[in-house]
Chains A and B, each alone.
Chain A
Amino acid sequence: MQDRRAGLLLTVCLAVACAAVPEGSARVIVTLAPGVSLSDRAAFERMVLARTAVQIGYIAAISDRVHAISVSCEPSDVDCARARAVLMASGLFTSIDDDRRRSRS
């Protein structure tokens, strides 16, 4: 009983790997399809809603083509997976990945 015991006694932060996201939405990282522009973010959100019936919210940029967005969905894997499938099928994105939490090591 040496390192692990001492460590466990003093653990102050628990694993949050891919744990809960705010209820009612999921954060994802999307790559825009060629020709798709995100210069007007509000317009983009409206356009996505009109085309897919999925509500998204812009969060932040990673690069010109890669952005973080929230996807409105019920807090269940099934519903969020369906919303992502609809977004992917829209042709607006070439990839959709989870925007997961990472903790300090």
Chain B
Amino acid sequence: MKASQLILGVVALAWALSATPAQTQKVARMPSAAIATDRVIVKFRDDLARAQATKAETVTHDRIAGLATRTGMQLQLARSVTAQVHALRLARAMGGADLQATIARIGRDAAVEYAVPDQRKYRALMPNDPGYGTTPTTQQWYLTPPSSTFVAPIDAEHAWDITTGSSQVVVAVIDSGVLYDHPDLGRVAQGGKILPGYDMISDPVIANDGDGRDADASDPGDWVTQADLSNATFKGCAVSDSSWHGTHIAGIIGAATNNGVGIAGIGWRTLVLPVRALGKCFGYDSDIIAGMRWAAGLSVPDVPVNPNPARVLSMSLGSQDACTQPYADAVNELSRSGILVVAAAGNESAGASDAPANCAGVLSVTALRHVGTKVGFANWGTDVAIAAPGGNCVNTAQGSPCLYPIVSTSNDGTKQPGNMTYDGQLGTSFSTPMVAGVAGLMLAANPNISLADLRQRLLLTARAFPAADPSEPTPLLSCSDPKFTADTAGNLPNDGRCNCDKTSCGAGMLDAAGAVRSAINPVAVASGPSSAGAGQTITIDGSSSVASPGNAASIAYRWQVTGDGTTTLGATNGPTLNLSATAGSYNITLTVSDASGHSDSRTVALQVTANTSTGGGGGGGGAIDAAQLLALVALGLIGAFRSRRRD
């Protein structure tokens, strides 16, 4: 029988948890994209003839003066970056819509190639919680910026530079309830992070709190004893200690942060809504679905309406099954209300997501090892939307600590709650709240972002999976390789570890910083061949780029090519770029901008090699065949036309 859950109490961390409640420090406010500035960076279009004929200072002065006249603005040179790029000082500091309008107005001037706000940048925001860091067994390596050692972390630090979340954003945790008294959680009414929530478990035996549904979402423990197994309700279950599963998940999403105690939550200000639907050993669909509806603010008979509806649901539960109609209906209803549902792909080492993660409209999350490969237990398949760290125990002997667990809030009680602690656990259960937590940050950055944009940008900004893990003794198969299949004994190659790709582990590795940026910015996406022959016409495709939410109509593209050879370019202001080049190394940069005044760039590298032979085999000593010559002529004509038009 496959394991459906991996709970690993590997570290009981005693970070300043004794009896002293967390001392809350003032959280530093970091600038958002909407912060005011009195500067704008402007790049003027090439004007070589004029520049050669006149002193550079005069050209710059004339250009700025002309721009000021044409736009009716007071613009003064603050600093020159290059001959074409200058920081200009505005008449006053402005932010938000004012700044966006000003930037757009300057950007529309015919002499201007682009204009962007000149804003202050700060070093990445690091919380002072002792559990935050890269000590593998005891710290939250999974939130840090990625490195050569830790490939899969989500880079919450750079997301926190943009926003640390909002108390207006509620993320629901449909799970086993929560320990309100944990010093890194706490009730909102007492300055903590956890809303009242609801206990939706209708069977008192499963609920383990003496009654059915009630307004107390606290977790009484979900231990199962040998004696319990004689109860028909628990047929098929196993003896186990209490999991404190919901508490662990709540901490990942919203532990009190920068308070010098314990761990950091992804959303420093995000509020967590606990909805108890899992009790001893399991939960029923009917309670889970009722919990989903209640969390979203929809009516559930006999239950008071939720006064704090969630925008995101985190569901670390499921089983191998098809999506049933009640789930499909609930997800559709929530989607119509603009609510994102994130669910765990499951831990059965299976090639498909569990239900309800496999329901249409749900973001299914699989689990990665710290090096970015799929962890052995995690499910994979075409229904997985995205991947995030799920913990892994690489290179451990029996009884030794797990090296890369997901550390979060917990408790040492094996039955009822004991001491509040922190521990490390494994599973897609813990990848899921990372995605939900990042969605909460995106909503804080842009409360008006649509559900479609939220989903699209979470996926679009995911980082590419690494090619392979060099530390593996034998190279891993691709998760989508037909040979990655269980043998007759049910064992997968490499204990289920495999190299992820988009068809097996979703769009990529969750990138908190990229996702949050994308909530307020356009996203540039450029793809094309990494190598080509000299003179060969190639196309770099930027058509998957998106404007910032609500600004699709104003998206603009700008392509730039740098390198050590000569290029012939097609149109440089469309969603695709056609080019041919002589042998050399090139960087091709797409910058996407829109009426928001924000922009985003993506650079792809291109290596062009001299042709060594003629014909279809590719390359021939620099020779160009007839088709290539025709393409070059066509591109040259286009480029010449564009050049004249710009002048």
Which residues of A sit under 8 angstroms from B377, Cβ to Cβ? 3-4, 7
Which residues of A sit under 8 angstroms from B349, Cβ to Cβ? 4
Q: How far is the CB of A91 from chain B (nearest CB, A)?
A: 18
Q: With an 8 A cutoff between CB atoms, is A19 at the interface?
A: yes
Which residues of A sit under 8 angstroms from B320, Cβ to Cβ? 15, 17
Which residues of A sit under 8 angstroms from B497, Cβ to Cβ? 2-3
**CB-contact partner of A10 in B6, B237, B289, under 8 A:** B6
Q: Provided the pairs A3-B369, A104-B175 are in contact, do residues A60 and B496 lie with their beta carbons within 8 angstroms? A: no
Number of A-B contacts (CB under 8 A): 209
Q: Provided the pairs A2-B497, A10-B6 are in contact, do residues A23 and B293 lie with their beta carbons within 8 angstroms? A: no
| B-contact bits for A4-19, CB 8 A (1 contact / 0 none) | 1111111111111111
Point out which of A18, A20, A68, A104 has the most chain B C-beta atoms below 10 A from its C-beta: A104
- Nearest A residue to B284, CB-CB: A99
Q: With an 8 A cutoff between CB atoms, is B418 at the interface?
A: no
Q: How far is the CB of A35 from chain B (nearest CB, A)?
A: 18
Q: With an 8 A cutoff between CB atoms, is A42 at the interface?
A: no
- Nearest B residue to A66, CB-CB: B326
Which residues of B sit under 8 angstroms from A104, Cβ to Cβ? 5, 7, 175-176, 243, 245, 278, 316-317, 427, 429
Which residues of B sit under 8 angstroms from A4, Cβ to Cβ? 349, 376-377, 495-496
A16, B290: Cα distance in complex, Å: 20
Within 8 A of B (CB), among A1-57: 1-20, 22-23, 27, 29, 31
Q: How far is the CB of B428 from chain A (nearest CB, A)?
A: 5
Which residues of B sit under 8 angstroms from A101, Cβ to Cβ? 236, 282-285, 319
**CB-contact partner of B283 in A7, A11, A15, A102, under 8 A:** A102
Q: How far is the CB of B389 from chain A (nearest CB, A)?
A: 12
Q: How far is the CB of A5 from chain B (nearest CB, A)?
A: 7
* Contact between A3 and B284, CB atoms less than 8 A apart: no
* Contact between A11 and B318, CB atoms less than 8 A apart: no
Which residues of B sit under 8 angstroms from A66, Cβ to Cβ? 289, 326, 329
Which residues of A sit under 8 angstroms from B301, Cβ to Cβ? 61, 63-64
A102, B283: Cα distance in complex, Å: 5
- Nearest B residue to A97, CB-CB: B324
- Nearest B residue to A13, CB-CB: B5
Q: With an 8 A cutoff between CB atoms, is B84 at the interface?
A: no
* Contact between B427 and A27, CB atoms less than 8 A apart: no
Q: How far is the CB of A87 from chain B (nearest CB, A)?
A: 16
Q: How far is the CB of A51 from chain B (nearest CB, A)?
A: 23
Within 8 A of A (CB), among B169-214: 175-176, 202-203, 212-213
Q: With an 8 A cutoff between CB atoms, is A79 at the interface?
A: no
* Contact between B396 and A6, CB atoms less than 8 A apart: yes
Which residues of B sit under 8 angstroms from A59, Cβ to Cβ? 202-203, 286
A64, B333: Cα distance in complex, Å: 14
Which residues of A sit under 8 angstroms from B299, Cβ to Cβ? 63-64
**CB-contact partner of A12 in B7, B354, B396, under 8 A:** B7
Q: With an 8 A cutoff between CB atoms, is B35 at the interface?
A: no
* Contact between A1 and B495, CB atoms less than 8 A apart: yes
Which residues of B sit under 8 angstroms from A95, Cβ to Cβ? 325
* Contact between A61 and B376, CB atoms less than 8 A apart: no
* Contact between A13 and B319, CB atoms less than 8 A apart: no
* Contact between B1 and A14, CB atoms less than 8 A apart: yes
Q: With an 8 A cutoff between CB atoms, is B263 at the interface?
A: no
* Contact between A20 and B8, CB atoms less than 8 A apart: no
Binds A, one of B124-132, B340-348, B514-522: B340-348
A103, B282: Cα distance in complex, Å: 5
Point out which of A16, A23, A62, A67 has the most chain B C-beta atoms below 10 A from its C-beta: A62
A5, B397: Cα distance in complex, Å: 9
Which residues of B sit under 8 angstroms from A97, Cβ to Cβ? 285, 324-326
| B-contact bits for A59-89, CB 8 A (1 contact / 0 none) | 1111110111000000000000000000000
Which residues of B sit under 8 angstroms from A8, Cβ to Cβ? 3
Q: With an 8 A cutoff between CB atoms, is B394 at the interface?
A: yes
Q: With an 8 A cutoff between CB atoms, is B82 at the interface?
A: no
**CB-contact partner of A22 in B233, B300, B355, B393, under 8 A:** B233
- Nearest B residue to A9, CB-CB: B398
* Contact between A22 and B232, CB atoms less than 8 A apart: yes
Q: Provided the pairs A5-B495, A98-B285, A105-B346 are in contact, do residues A17 and B394 lie with their beta carbons within 8 angstroms? A: no
A97, B284: Cα distance in complex, Å: 12
A44, B321: Cα distance in complex, Å: 31
Which residues of A sit under 8 angstroms from B7, Cβ to Cβ? 10, 12-13, 104
- Nearest A residue to B239, CB-CB: A12
A25, B159: Cα distance in complex, Å: 51
Which residues of B sit under 8 angstroms from A62, Cβ to Cβ? 286, 289-290, 293, 300, 326, 330
Which residues of B sit under 8 angstroms from A3, Cβ to Cβ? 369, 375-377, 392-394, 426, 495-497
Which residues of A sit under 8 angstroms from B288, Cβ to Cβ? 102
Q: With an 8 A cutoff between CB atoms, is B281 at the interface?
A: yes
Point out which of B175, B212, B395, B495 has the most chain A C-beta atoms below 10 A from its C-beta: B495
Which residues of B sit under 8 angstroms from A20, Cβ to Cβ? 232, 235-236
Q: With an 8 A cutoff between CB atoms, is B477 at the interface?
A: no
Point out which of A5, A14, A105 has the most chain B C-beta atoms below 10 A from its C-beta: A105
A1, B237: Cα distance in complex, Å: 27
**CB-contact partner of A16 in B212, B236, B344, B427, under 8 A:** B236
Q: Provided the pairs A16-B319, A60-B286 are in contact, do residues A2 and B1 lie with their beta carbons within 8 angstroms? A: no
Which residues of A sit under 8 angstroms from B354, Cβ to Cβ? 17, 102, 105
| A-contact bits for B297-329, CB 8 A (1 contact / 0 none) | 011111100000000000011111100111001
A105, B347: Cα distance in complex, Å: 6
**CB-contact partner of B393 in A2, A15, A16, A17, under 8 A:** A2
A27, B285: Cα distance in complex, Å: 10
Q: With an 8 A cutoff between CB atoms, is B287 at the interface?
A: yes
Q: With an 8 A cutoff between CB atoms, is B60 at the interface?
A: no
Q: With an 8 A cutoff between CB atoms, is B453 at the interface?
A: no
* Interface of A toward B, CB cutoff 8 Å: 1-20, 22-23, 27, 29, 31, 59-64, 66-68, 95, 97-105
Query: Contacts A66-B329, A104-B245, A105-B4 given; 8 further ones with Cβ under 8 A?
Result: A11-B6, A13-B240, A17-B321, A62-B330, A97-B326, A102-B355, A105-B345, A105-B432
Q: Could you list 7 examples of A-B contacts with CB < 8 Å?
A: A8-B3, A20-B232, A29-B324, A60-B302, A102-B278, A102-B284, A102-B356
* Interface of B toward A, CB cutoff 8 Å: 1-8, 175-176, 202-203, 212-213, 232-233, 235-238, 240-241, 243, 245, 278, 281-290, 293, 298-303, 316-321, 324-326, 329-330, 344-349, 354-356, 369, 375-377, 392-396, 398, 402, 426-429, 432, 495-497
